[in-house]
Amino acid sequence: MIRIDFNLMPVDLSGQLQRFWELSGEKISAIEREYELGKGTPVFTVEGKYTTRGWTEWTQGFQFGSSILQFDATGGDEFLEKGRTKTLALMAPHVSHTGVHDHGFNNVSTYGNLLRLMVEGKTPFNEWEKNFYELALKVSGAVQASRWTPIKNGGFIYSFNGPHSLFVDTMRTIRILMLSHKLGHVLQQENDVKVNLLVRALQHARATADYSVFYGEGRDRYDLWGRTAHESIFNTNDGNFRSPNAQQGYTGFSTWTRGLAWAMVGFAEQLEFLDTVSDEDLAAYGSREGVAQFMRRAAEATCDFYIEHTPIDGIPYWDTGAPNLHKLGDYLSVPANPYNDFEPVDSSAAAIGAQGLLRLGNYLKNKGEQEKGTKYWQAGLTVLRSLLAEPYLSTDPDHQGIILHSIYHQPNGWDHIPAGQKIACGESSMWGDYHAREVALYVQRVIENKPYYTFYNGVL
């Protein structure tokens, strides 16, 4: 399990953060200079150079969003200009993309961050530009909400696999529905039926909490507190849950750690968002207490599982049930080894999960639960310290990634295995790099006593 450093303070990471942003700017500039956008959206690196992998278009927002975060952290105007102009030129198809469950990734990372910066006063106010960002977020939220499968006790936004498929990842993308709702928008369907986007997002969150997260209550032989399934399968004829499944994990009965991390941060940030929602708005779904209860249970369970089933340095292997982990011996009692001969680590899960730990810890401390909140907060700082150091921080000027040892799709064999190695290692991903920047910005703002960073700062 993670060896939590209870003495680590955010300010202790200042030097590492400064180095991180210096390297990050160099990586962003290298991609801008060297990558040919005509090849498609960059997804992950091979031998240090970003390449694409046609599956779905879910990473372009991370590319341009990284430039925007770089500006936020460093004030480099050239990065703002890159992020803004590329968003204007290339992101519109993602706003109206009806075929994916990833709107909260692509469009909050770009339009959402640009709106937030303007509202926070970090960029000049321009009413037309603000209206443009708001319109993109409104439409994106409604389009995302239209991918809907009703079930007996609510429903969910279905994955690109089809209406039977609930992905745990989507817990983090429902924030686009929350932004759209906050901006006063609705999904309008046949016969002008208006769909409340807040209610739809909360129904999806409840389905994820009920079916994607396990609580040690004996649902199956592998039911452990906080374990997650990547995919939950439903019978669309009657709305009944049928089975857990996995696309990028090992099986539906093991835990793909990046999916776990999406749940950690998704539930934690929605708990924070809940405090900004009026009782009147929430009444359309149910009671504040009921919503907070299921979200908090899911957030705590997933964060606990991450802490318990991750090596002492906070960097997880790609799946907690990966078939060759036993060959590593007592691997949870030592730091993760990205260069081992048997199973890859996934640093992108750590970059995502660290933010979930920090947000849950901060939320609980603000509710007066200092001891419990401190555990999660310090665990998040411990994970981030590992990410900001080698062998995870990429210091090679010829490597375009910022966080090394990210895994995309281990079962499909899409990840690069370097010469002389037996497993995939040494590469980066757009989502891993973006979320490392996001959690780095989160902690930097805490250190500098700046406004607390949330996805919804632009709509408060």
Per-position pLDDT tens, the chain of length 460: 999 999 999 999 999 999 999 999 999 999 999 999 888 899 999 999 999 987 788 999 999 999 999 999 999 999 999 999 999 999 999 999 999 999 999 999 999 999 999 999 999 999 999 999 999 999 999 999 999 999 989 999 999 999 999 999 999 999 999 999 999 999 999 999 999 999 999 999 999 999 999 999 999 999 999 999 999 999 999 999 999 999 999 999 999 999 999 999 999 999 999 999 999 999 999 999 999 999 999 999 999 999 999 999 999 999 999 999 999 999 999 999 999 999 999 999 999 999 999 999 999 999 999 999 999 999 999 999 999 999 999 999 999 999 999 999 999 999 999 999 999 999 999 999 999 999 999 999 999 999 999 999 999 9
Give the range of the structural domain holding residue 20, as residue numbers without chain letter.
10-459
What is each CA distance from 308 to 294, 302, 362, 379, in whole angstroms? 21, 10, 20, 11
The Cα–Cα gap between 329 and 104 comes to: 39
CB crowding 114-145: b at 16 or more within 10 Å, else e:
bbbbbbeeebeeeeebbebbbebbbbbbbbbb
172 belongs to a structural domain: yes
Structure tokens at 252: 């539906």
Q: Is residue 196 part of a domain?
A: yes
Q: Is residue 271 part of a domain?
A: yes
| C-alpha span between 439 and 455 (Å, rounded) | 12
Q: How far apart are CA 180 and CA 165, in angstroms?
A: 24
In a domain, 149, yes or no: yes
What's the total number of domains in the chain?
1
Q: Is 285 contained in some domain?
A: yes
Indicate whether 1 belongs to any domain: no
Whether residue 5 lies inside any domain: the answer is no
Separation of alpha carbons 29 and 75, rounded Å: 15
Residue 93 lies in a domain: yes
419: exposed, middle or buried (C-beta count within 10 Å: 0-12, 13-18, 19+)?
exposed
Sign of CA dihedral 119, 102, 140, 353: negative
CB atoms within 10 A of CB 270: 25
Identify the CATH number of the domain in which residue 186 sits.
1.50.10.10
